[in-house]
Amino acid sequence: MRPYAVWLSLGANLGDRAETIRAALRQIDTVTATRLVQVASFYETAPWGKLDQPGFINTAAEIETSLPLYDLLHAMQRIEQALGRVRHEHWGARTIDIDLLAAEGKTSDTAELRLPHPYLTERAFVLRPLLDIAPELVVAGRTVRDWWAEPAIQGQQISRAAEVSSPWPLQMIAAADEAGGIGLAGQLLVHAPEDMAHFKDLTLGHIVVMGRRTQQSLPGAAPLQGRINIVLSRTQGDIPGFSVCHSLTELWQLLGRLTLAQPQRKVWCIGGGEIYRLLLPYTEAIALTRLRGRYRADTFFPDITAQFREEVQTAGEAQTAVASFCRLVRRHGGQ
C-alpha cells in the first residue's frame, strides 16, 4: 500500500501527563510501516464532557503509514493499553487517549471508526495543536485555520502547557552548504575554525547524541570532552567513553535520567543524516551553520522549510567569510 498521511490527537490527564504522551509518541514511531513526521506543542486544557476530573495535556501528531486504516487503529489501541488506558467511562479520566482525526484520501463511517473525527471541528483542544502542524488541512470543506477562527472555538479555554510545551526538548546543530550537504565519506565538508568554535561554545557542558558514523569521524574516534556522549545505533557494541543506545526507547530512558539529574543540560543532536531525520520530530530548535557555496556531498540535512522558521538576527550578526550562523525554531500556530 502507498504510504499516506494520518493526523492524530493525543491527550492525558492522569499521572505524569507529558511523559505519558512522549512515551506514546515514541511507541507510535516504532509501529510497523509507520513513521512519526511531526508533533505539535503540548497544550493544557480543561476536561471535556465529564468535568469532575483533572485537566488534560493535549497535542497532535502527523504520521506516515502504509498500514490499512483499521490495522493502524488497532495499533494505536494497543499503545493505549500498554500505557495503562482502561476504558471504564465515556469522557472519563484516562492515562492516554489516541484518536485518529483524519487520513489522506480516506474516510470511514462505522461504529468502530468515524473519519474525519466527528468532533474535530468542535473542540479547541483538538484544533489548536492541529493548527501547529496542519493549518491548511481541509476538514468538512474548510481548513483547520478557518475552523480555529470560529467564535465558539475561541471561547474555549486552552493554553500552552507551562514547562512541558515541547514533545521532547531536543536541539540540533549542523553545518550545511547551499544544497543542504553536510558530509562526504563520513567526514564534514569543511573544517572551519569559526564553526568548530561555535559548535564547542553551544555544546560544551551538555549532552550530544550522534550516530555510529559520526562517532567514528571524531578525532581519534574519542568522546568530545566536557560533554556526555551518546551513540544511537541498532548494532554498535560498547564504546569506551560513550553511552550506546540501541533504540529510541533506550535513548529516551537515558535522556530522562540525565536531564532529571541536571535539568539545565541541553540535548544536542549532532548527526549524521539518518539520525537528524530520525530525531527531527522531537526537535524544537536547530543551530544551523550555512556554508557559503556548494561542496561534493553524499549526506544531506533534512528539508526543514515547512516545519521551522529562522529567528530574526541583527544585521551583520554571526556572519563570516566562510559561513553564517542562524537559529531556527519550530513553527507554531501555522506561522
Residues with catalytic function: 85, 94, 97, 99
Q: Dig out the grid coordinates for 3 from the structure.
A: 504510504
CA distance 86 to 93: 9
* DSSP letter string, 127-183: HHHHHHH-TT-EETTEEHHHHHT-HHHHTS-EEEPTT--SSS-EEEEEEE-TT-EEE
Strands 243-245 and 158-160: unpaired
Nearest residue to 209 via CA among 265, 283, 276, 270? 270
Selection from 320, 2, 44, 20 nearest residue 163 by Cα: 44
Torsion of CA 311, 315, 317, 321, to 10 degrees: 120
How far apart, in whole angstroms, are the C-alpha atoms of residue 305 and residue 289? Answer: 15
DSSP 3-state of 31? coil
What are φ and ψ of residue 328, in 5° steps?
A: -115, 140
Between the alpha carbon of residue 2 and those of residues 39, 134, 215, the distances in Å are: 22, 21, 35
| Contact call for residues 282 and 173 (beta carbons, < 8 A) | no
Q: If phi over 0 gives left and psi between -120 and 50 gives alpha, with beta otherwise, what is residue 9?
A: beta
The C-alpha cell 465558539 sits at 152
